[in-house]
Amino acid sequence: MPENENRKNGGRRIVVILLAVCILASMCSVGFITYKANRVLAALEGEYGEVEDVNAEDDVVIADEYKIVSTTQISDAYLSGDASALSDRDKETLDMAKEVLDKIIEDGMNDYEKEKAVYLFLTKNLKNDTGLLTVIPTTGEDADNPHGVLKNREAVCVGYATTFRLFMQMLGIECKVIHSSDRIHSWDLVKLDDEWYHVDCYNDSDSGNFQNFNMNDTVAMQSHEWTTEFFPEATGEKYSPAMQNRKELKDIYAIPACVRSMIEDRKAVASFTFKDKIDEETEQAAGMLVSSVQETIGSMEEYQCYPEMIWTQDDNGEYVLQVYINYYDEEEDVWDVDIDTLEKIENAVEAAFGGYVEGDRENEDTTEFEMENCCE
């Protein structure tokens, strides 16, 4: 693949991808989905128009709101031990980032272990929503850069990506922020042992099941879309958790039992190859079997989980099934609201809608007048 410098001159205009609506479902947490859905619909209706200058890493605006900004001045200051040229804000960012690394990085760790420690910190300690409300910061600077992220522990996807990159650069690990070509999402590319991997901490922030950790291009393309001509090709497999937990099964009919065993042992990630190779005759059956497993587990309340199952092919063209288990706690969905608040909610709804019958226009004028003046 050509070097990035040789590709920068190939900046081209790319029409907003209609597929964004489908990709959105796998990108968003529940709290953020309404906001992103509105952004995608606006794009499809022409609000964004055509995307320009997509062949760039920094200074790209995501979701028409958040900007990817370089923080190399901070990582360079950390590596050199000289922070004298930093602004007060950058010095504070450096201090917060250094404090985190001092806690999570241990002597003797290799680059992969350091990367994993940072991933776990970000996916377990940051929030991308506030309760039931979408996290749309009062100012864009709050959640789209390492300073706001480390200070407030809340982040949009750009905040996760730029903070992960800052940590990687402070640790001397090459890393880039990558964005979808329609500019509604961003994540990272990290280089380990001269091979690139995709890392999307934002998408794993709810589950922490490594589904979006150290993906190669083939896996990442299942749920992400980007300008492949500009960003480096990601071909690594060695540091993929799914590949590290790889097991050979006799045939596809062993999948249900193995997935059940994963759930009972509370394992989050694994991958399977098959002694009886999957061919054109068994390919359809394999897809149907996986769908049936997902539907069955999703309907069983006692398991409190849902499996994501992705078919890929290895370098030899053999089918590999990657399984990621999303565990959840039923109690998390319980609304903790007192009786007085519930009564106020009921009274407010009753006052606004209780006396209205669809098709009854008798009190239409009064209703419109009251609605016009209700916020005065």
Query: Based on the domain organization, do 74 and 162 belong to the same domain?
Result: yes
The model's pTM? 0.69
Query: Based on the domain organization, do 63 and 199 belong to the same domain?
Result: yes
Query: Based on the domain organization, do 79 and 182 belong to the same domain?
Result: yes
Query: Based on the domain organization, do 92 and 117 belong to the same domain?
Result: yes
Query: Is it the case that residue 374 has pLDDT exceeding 90?
Result: no
Query: Based on the domain organization, do 69 and 86 belong to the same domain?
Result: yes
CA 338 to mean position of chain CA atoms:
33
> For residue 40, what pLDDT band results from cuts at 50, 70 and 90?
very low
Please check whether residue 7 lies inside any domain of the structure: no
Query: Based on the domain organization, do 87 and 194 belong to the same domain?
Result: yes
Query: Based on the domain organization, do 82 and 117 belong to the same domain?
Result: yes
Q: Cβ-count burial of 26 within 10 angstroms (0-12 exposed, 13-18 middle, 19+ buried)?
A: middle
Task: Give the pLDDT score at 99.
Answer: 97
Q: What are 284-334's pLDDT values in tens digits?
A: 899 999 999 999 998 888 888 888 888 888 777 888 999 998 887 644 444
Query: Based on the domain organization, do 345 and 328 belong to the same domain?
Result: no
CB 168 within 8 A of CB 196: no
Element (H, E) at 307: strand 305-313
Residue ranges making up the domain that contains 307: 245-332
Q: Which residue has the tokens 């990817």?
A: 68
Q: What are 193-242's pLDDT values in tens digits?
A: 999 999 999 999 877 789 999 999 988 998 899 988 899 999 998 999 88
Q: What are 45-74's pLDDT values in tens digits?
A: 334 334 445 678 888 899 888 999 999 999
Query: Based on the domain organization, do 216 and 365 belong to the same domain?
Result: no
Query: Based on the domain organization, do 283 and 349 belong to the same domain?
Result: no
Joined together, the tokens standing for residue 263 give 């759930």
Taking Cα atoms as reference points, which of 75, 73, 63 lies closest to residue 33? 63
Query: Based on the domain organization, do 194 and 280 belong to the same domain?
Result: no
CA distances from 94 to 75, 148, 150 (A): 8, 12, 10
Joined together, the tokens standing for residue 285 give 């059956």
Q: Which CATH number covers residue 257?
A: 3.40.50.150
Query: Based on the domain organization, do 263 and 197 belong to the same domain?
Result: no
